[in-house]
Structure formats: C-alpha cells, structure tokens
C-alpha cells in the first residue's frame, strides 16, 4: 500500500437526502398481538435492511410481533446488471425459473432498467412505474398475472407485485413474493377502494409485496404500491396466507416516519460509496 492511497472511501448520499443532518436514525415501531391455534407459525420473523419483525412471548402464552422500520440509508454498492456469481444459491434458483414469453414485458423491462447502475436504482425505477401506471383495484375472484395487470393497467396488490417482480426478473434481478397484512386501526387509514375489505379480525387487510436480493444487503423489501426499498411498520410479513382462526390486534403503534416523496413514490435514501483509488506518485491526478 503506497502513501498515495486514498485513506478512506468518500461517502455520498444520493438525491435530496445529501444534506440530511447527522444524528440518531429515526425509527418507526408497531407491536401486534397474534392470535390463533398456532400463532408462532402464522407470523414470520424478519431481519432485513431497514425492516425487522421480532417475535416474543412475555408470559409464555401471548405471542407479540414487533415491527421496526428505520430511516437509515442503504449502501448502494451492488451494481446492475447483476453478476449471478455474487448471488447465493437461493437467489440464483429464482433466476432459473422460466418466465412466460412476452415481448411487451421484455421491452418494458429493458426500457425501465436502461441506464440503471445499481440494483437499488433498478428497483426504484420499476416500483415508480408500477405504482404510477397501474391503477389499484381491489382483488376479485379472477386470477391475476403480470401480463393481465400490464395490459389492463389495473390490478390489486397481488397483480402489482407480480408485475413488478416480472419486470425485475426479466432484468436478471432475483425477486420473490411476500404475503402479509397491512394493518390499520380503522378503515379510514386505508385507500378509498380498499376500505370495504377492512377486517377487524386481522386489524387491516391482506397484502402482498416483494423482496429483492441485493449482494451486501440481503433481501430488501419493497411495496409496488409506491414504496421502493422500504416498508412501514404497518406491514407485517407472514410465511403464508393467514390460517383459519388467525387474528391480529394492534397493541401499540408509534409515529410514522416522514419519508420524502419523489415523483409520487417513496424511496429509501441510498448511500453511494466511492471506493478508495490508487493515485499516481505525488498524489496528483493524471
């Protein structure tokens, strides 16, 4: 190592968060009581960048699920396009799953991801397009797919998530579906066209979102309804569809984080890292 080696990496916040004052990272929390015949099987513990679900039983009988979301920026170091060799086996397997032949979706994926330099940026682009161009409508008995959602320009949280995942997968990005609950104290906390699906039994509505594998970070969640690389404490992940007898009640919920909107969507701040570089003798740039 020469004396001309830059001593430290230069850290830059991308976007308008560049001027954010340093200090303690803001956190949003919510605590839920889970009910049912086997409540410990009905909720999924999660340890993801900026989003965590911890399970506990203070009295040995009651199961509590604590959701914590922080506002820390994510290190934006995973390049795009993705090198499959940097992925673990569980992520590589997702890339081998066949996609339906669809020239329109292929073209759209290519257009959206053209010029993206990191995976987090790629996710932002896809989530922004889906949330703005696909009108939300409540789920029905008709099956949804990425193709039907794209062509009709409307879909439920399921259709939006399938479409976002499809567009990312066509770009070589590993992504998987997550089922869960979007909690609410009252129907008024939900959008107008989803209020009729509010359930007091589960304190909200069933919901769907995605997780993208990002080297160096792990599985990063996003909600194609308008949250890129982030969720809220109102999102509670489940391992599968709620079983019979499942119930959920809100024990406590703190103030929501004040995220900045960009083009109608919300994206977690990205921390750009410029790696140290070797300088020529004397420390001058050529």
- pLDDT for residue 239: 97
Whether pTM exceeds 0.75: yes
- pLDDT for residue 22: 54
Residue ranges and CATH numbers for the domains of the chain are 1-20+269-286 (no CATH), 22-267 (3.10.620.30)
Profile the chain (286 residues) by mean pLDDT over runs of 10 residues.
Answer: 30 37 83 95 97 94 96 97 96 96 98 98 98 94 95 97 98 98 97 94 98 97 98 98 96 96 90 57 44
- CB-CB neighbours of 169 under 10 Å: 20
CB of 102 closer than 8 Å to CB of 183: no
Strand order in the sheet with 235-238: 218-222, 204-214, 175-183, 235-238
């Amino acid at each position: 190592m020469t004396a001309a080696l830059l001593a430290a990496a230069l850290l830059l916040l991308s976007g308008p968060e560049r001027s954010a004052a340093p200090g303690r990272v803001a956190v949003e929390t919510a605590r839920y009581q889970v009910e049912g015949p086997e409540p410990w099987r009905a909720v999924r513990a999660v340890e993801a960048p900026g989003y965590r679900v911890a399970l506990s039983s203070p009295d040995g009988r009651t199961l509590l699920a604590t959701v914590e979301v922080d506002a820390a920026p994510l290190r934006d170091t995973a390049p795009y396009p993705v090198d499959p060799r940097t992925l673990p086996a569980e992520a590589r397997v997702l890339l081998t799953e066949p996609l339906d032949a669809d020239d329109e979706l292929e073209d759209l994926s290519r257009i959206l991801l053209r010029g993206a330099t990191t995976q987090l940026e790629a996710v932002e682009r896809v989530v922004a397009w889906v949330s703005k161009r696909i009108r939300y409508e409540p789920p029905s008995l008709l099956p949804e797919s990425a193709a039907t959602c794209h062509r009709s320009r409307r879909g439920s949280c399921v259709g939006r998530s399938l479409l976002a995942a499809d567009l990312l997968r066509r770009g070589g990005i590993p992504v998987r579906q997550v089922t869960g609950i979007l909690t609410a104290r009252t129907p008024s906390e939900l959008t107008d066209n989803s209020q009729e699906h509010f359930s007091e039994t589960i304190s909200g509505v069933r919901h769907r979102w995605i997780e993208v594998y990002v080297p160096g970070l792990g599985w990063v969640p996003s909600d194609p309804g308008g949250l890129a690389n982030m969720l809220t404490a109102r999102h509670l992940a489940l391992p599968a569809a709620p079983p019979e007898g499942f119930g959920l009640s809100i024990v406590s919920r703190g103030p929501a984080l004040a995220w900045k909107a960009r083009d109608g969507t919300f994206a977690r701040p990205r921390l750009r890292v410029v790696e140290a570089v070797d300088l020529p003798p004397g420390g001058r740039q050529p």
